[in-house]
Amino acid sequence: MPDLIKVAKFGGTSMADAEAMRRSAQIVANDPDKRLIVVSATSGTTNHLTSFCESVTIPEKEELFRTIQKKHTDICNELQHPENVRKKLDDVLNELRKYTKIQVIGAREKDAILSCGERLSSLLFTEIVNEAESGATWFDARDVIITDDAHGNAEPDIKEIENRSAVKLRNLVKEKRVITQGFVGSTPEGETTTLGRGGSDYSAALFAEALNADVLEIWTDVTAIYTTDPRIEPNAKPITEISFDEAAELSVFGAKVLHPATLKPAIRKSIKVYVGSSFHPDQPGTWIVKETSEKPVIRAISLRRNQTLLTVHSLDMLHRHGYLARLFEVLSKYKISVDLVTTSEVSVSMTLDTDVQSAERNHLSEKVLNELRSFCDVNIEKNLALVALVGNNLHATAGLSGPVFGALQETNIRLICHGASSHNLCFLVDETKAEDAVRTLHQTFINK
Ligand code: ASP
Ligand code: MG
């Protein structure tokens, strides 16, 4: 009997090829407590499958099919016993091949197609774990991860996942090592769904919650969460332990290791989360826990680029009610997502994350602007970056702003947000000054 129940998730780069899979399998084999293994598709495969769905010609689809087929049969050919898994791989590939004939793919079919990525990788990985030790078993995540029918971004049904897991999984993981798919779910009627891009972390956290696991491990291609981006500041240090609350501020503010929402199921049950690299399993990773033993005022500094500052101004705002409601109603109507807000008596400034890669996102079209201009003056500033200090009790620490802003004497600070969160103090600076600001603050507070 295992001592603990650990759920371990391996991302796409940890499944990239036979070599990466063997490295990951060794991590599994070295720890008898890793009972449920949740895997992503091999790296690049979900992108290929997405292109497959979006391509409109049959030859394009056939070409993408062949790429995916080759990638997985290549890994299969490197196995000690390819015959153990070849038939099961072919079943999934044949299912996918059928869709090459369909020109326009709907949302339902798309989920069935996307699920093939994780189904293929998990079949191969089960066999590779079995090379290291026998007895690992493949499990269909769709038997447990029950969701609504919002295809492409389905909402899990926590209660039902718990029920299913009690019946189908809880005892199984005690007897055997179980390998399953991330990202993939099913409606109660048995139709395949997916949890949204990058959803495997979320799946793993849902499984951990349903199993009442002791630990959730996320194995990825970075060794740890760092005190800041090491590409900006080479003296950045790995963080040994960080709280869920701090980590949430960090991931929102630029450290793209984990998305905070994905950890919610683990937070609900206070399950400790470990983040480590499957490429360097011996290097220490980061623990994300409810209560950390140390609570430094400043734990990390993050940088988020591509910020737009939208400022509206109107004398009508003075001592009136409903003004902010009206403002946000317009922004909501055009699906503009606002991150930070500061207000004065007659002005409101807001930051929008304007990712250049998605021109659609938070686009301030003439339509939005005209509607705003009908009741206020509007000003837009671009090429800004958001620098965030993340830590503990920032709102109640006397003498913090002196050193922060003293260190940045030469920098024009455009907007400050302080006080809303006890774990975060952040401000906007010109994009060209942002990296310097991060380095200076890192030297002042972390590498002191
Ligand atoms: N394979 C899916 C994706 O690439 C889910 C995941 O890897 O988290 O989005
Ligand atoms: Mg991922």
CATH number of the structural domain spanning residue 70: 3.40.1160.10
Distance 114 CA to ligand 1 centre (A): 9
| 212 plus 326 within the same structural domain | no
Which ligand neighbours the alpha carbon of 221 most closely? 2
Instruction: Say if CB 206 and CB 262 are below 8 A apart.
Output: no
**Is residue 308 located within the same domain as residue 214?**
no
Number of domains in the chain: 2
The confidence score (pLDDT) of residue 279 equals: 96
Residue nearest to atom 5 of ligand 1 (CA): 198
Asked whether residue 257 is domain-assigned, the answer is no
**Probe residue for ligand 1, chosen from 9, 72, 183 as the CB with the greatest number of ligand atoms within 8 Å:** 183
For residue 76, the model assigns a pLDDT of 98
Q: Ligand 2 centroid vs 390 CA: distance in angstroms?
A: 24
Same domain, 441 and 339: yes
C-alpha angle 285-291-296 in degrees, rounded to nearest 5:
75
Distance 272 CA to ligand 1 centre (A): 22
pLDDT in tens, 297-331: 999 999 999 999 999 999 887 888 888 999 999 99
- Would residue 420 count as lying in a domain? yes
Shared-domain flag, residues 163 and 310: no
| Cα(433)–Cα(439) distance, integer angstroms | 10
What pLDDT score does 212 carry? Answer: 97
Residue 233 lies in a domain: no
Cα 11 to ligand 2 centre (Å) = 5
Question: What pLDDT sits at residue 109?
Answer: 97
Neighbours of ion ligand 2 (CB under 5 A): 11, 198
Number of helical H runs and strand E runs in the chain: 14, 16
Q: Is residue 256 part of a domain?
A: no
Range of the domain at 373: 299-445
Q: 216 and 350: one domain?
A: no
- Residue 194 inside a domain? The answer is yes
User: Is the separation of the CB atoms in 400 and 408 below 8 Å?
Assistant: no
- Domain CATH number, residue 437: 3.30.2130.10
Residue 264 counted as domain residue: no
Q: Which helix (H) or strand (E) holds 126?
A: helix 107-132
pLDDT at 392: 96
- Decide if 259 is inside a domain: no
Single residue among 176, 202, 221 that ends a domain in this structure: 221
pTM metric for this prediction: 0.90
pLDDT recorded at residue 357: 56
pLDDT score at 410 = 86
Residues (pLDDT < 50) of the chain are: none
207 with 303, same domain?
no
Tell the residue nearest (CA) to atom 8 of ligand 1. 198
Domain boundary (221, 256, 282) is at 221
Residue nearest to atom 6 of ligand 1 (CA): 198
pLDDT at 359: 60
- Give CA–CA dist 44/182, Å, rounded: 15
Residue 273 lies in a domain: no
Domain C-terminal end among 170, 203, 221 = 221
Indicate whether 200 and 333 sit together in one domain.
no
**One domain for residues 215 and 314:** no
Closest listed residue to residue 5, CA positions, set 173, 210, 213, 175: 213
User: Do residues 57 and 171 both lie within one domain?
Assistant: yes
- pLDDT, residue 321, reads 87
Cα-Cα end-to-end distance for the chain: 47
